[in-house]
Amino acid sequence: MRIIEIKVIPNSNEDAVIEAEPLIVRVKEPPTKGKANKAVVKVLSRYFNARVRIVSSTKSRRKIVAIEEPE
């Protein structure tokens, strides 16, 4: 399992992952009712081809996520 920091940009024109420090995740969803967080998990799961969960900072644009890579 890896722990990384990401920066989320909600209300974007597209879903995308930008390799920067920290990793930038752009999602189309608004930051209301957890919609952006669900979109972030979905986008990162596809990007890393692994299970992803938000560990902390669910209400902030900067988040800590855990990446559980398959064995």
| pLDDT for the residue numbered 29 | 97
Ranges assigned E (strand) in the chain: 2-9, 16-18, 23-26, 51-56, 62-68
Residues with Cβ < 8 Å from 34, sequence gap 6 or more?
Answer: 58
The more confident residue out of 25 and 71 is 25
Q: What token pair was written down for 13?
A: 């024109």
Taking CA 22 as the corner, what is the angle to CA 41 and CA 29, rounded to the nearest 5 degrees?
35
CATH pick for 2-68 out of 1.20.1430.10, 3.30.1200.10, 3.40.50.1970, 1.10.357.10:
3.30.1200.10
Q: What token pair was written down for 18?
A: 């930008």
- Whether 71 shows a pLDDT value over 90: the answer reads no
User: Residue range 62-70: average pLDDT?
Assistant: 93
| pLDDT for the residue numbered 69 | 82
Q: Helix count (H) and strand count (E) of the chain?
A: 1, 5
| pLDDT for the residue numbered 38 | 97
pTM: 0.93
Q: What is the pLDDT of residues 2-42, one digit of tens each?
A: 999 999 999 999 999 999 999 999 999 999 999 999 999 99
